[in-house]
Amino acid sequence: MPAVLITGAASGIGRAAALQFAQQGWDCLLVDISPAIAALPAHCLAQGAASAQAFALDLTDAQALAQLGRQLAELPALDALVNNAGISDSSGRPLAEQAPAQWQRLLRLNLQAPQALFDTCLPRLKPDARIVNVSSGAGQKAIPWRGLYSPSKAGLIAWSHRLAQRYPQLGVTTLCPGFVRTELVQGLMDAGRLALADAVAKIPLGRLAEPEEMAAALVFLAQPQAHVLSGQVLSVDGGSGIYGGSSRCALSTAVPAPLQTPLHLQLQAGSDAACDGAWLQALQADAPAHAAATGALSQGVVSTQALAPAVSDLLEAVLSAGQQFAAAHARDASLLLLLPASAPANVPAWQHQTALAAARMLVATLACEWATQGLRINALLLSPEQATGAAVAQLLPLVRFLSGAQAQFVTGQSLDISGTKERYHG
């Protein structure tokens, strides 16, 4: 059975993740400073975990980490490490007025502890292990009056990227949650200190995420199939990270689909016969594994319209694909666009990168405009080798995740999984 170590596992996202790993039969190693962590192994075993063990410790304590390292030496090697533990600063005190003691604890736990824990676990990581670091949307844009929370989360994103470069055999990804209905947030709403309409005012999908949605993303990112995302940031935020409008987002009245809702995936074909054929064949080969599903289905569309080398206007191709999708789906569906990461032979690299930047912003814009209808749009940037042939089948787990109910709080994202960095020259 695969083994995972999860920090911050006693509550919120960490606890939800532990239970979902347990449901898939993982060995669960559960870390938290709270004494409440002692009760979680029993719940994990009840959910189907192969084994479960709790470690109550302070991740900022070097001696405690050393002891953990000695304990790990006697346990199964790790397939995944989830750095989820973190704290915020709710004092409201300006940074210019904070004493070192106030911000040092936050920095040690949010930024330094994940690095120290990785070093501790490194001897026990399998060669192809996955590291998932939980940052925040606050790491991508500044949130004032919360101390060093945003800087610490920005640093974690940067460290994850460098870690992926230093250890290419590992899969290293960053999860950036948006506003999640944790126990703390729900308590604030119940007490009348936080209005739901205010909380979702800058979330295009018009609702808060549930901890289980973040957990589903963590479980996927911990799988071998997620290695293609190594070095990437996955924002599960309902579109808040891409929204730049001045108006308040409408409160959604839709009920989120159950995470295990089966997915019906269709192809929106382009004009390249080889590319379309490879994706159609892969989708058809994958269909029997999901054909037994009954009841309501999530509707997903994969579009190859912008992949064809003959397409000279990438932006027009993306807009056309979006218009066709919107005309065919009134609500509650997902469009996944496949985009060429590098320029076709007859197009200068600078021209392609200019069009690609515009296309990625178009994806974000459509995501914001469609959100109230429950329509989502995301994009994958592919290399020529990934766009056709045998490589297509290897991308299907990622395609299915992004298109399905487990990623229904992901929209407006463009993920470059091509592994290439095109130079800006003609």
Cα atoms in the 13 Å half-sphere on the side-chain side of 330: 0
| Residue 147, token pair as written in the block | 């101390």
In 269-348, alpha helices (H): 273-286, 314-328
Q: What is the DSSP string of 330-345?
A: SSSEEEEEEEESS--T
Residues 6+ apart with CB under 8 A from 83: 7, 113, 114, 117, 118, 131, 132, 133, 134, 156
Asked if 149 is an active-site residue, the reply is yes
> Catalytic one among 149, 167, 243, 424?
149
How far apart are alpha carbons 1 and 127 in whole angstroms?
16
State how beta strands 298-303 and 3-7 pair: unpaired
Q: Which residues of 314-353 are buried (b: 16+ CB within 10 A; e: fewer)?
A: bbebbbbbbeebbeebeebbbbbbbbbbbbeeebeeeebb
Catalytic residues: 149
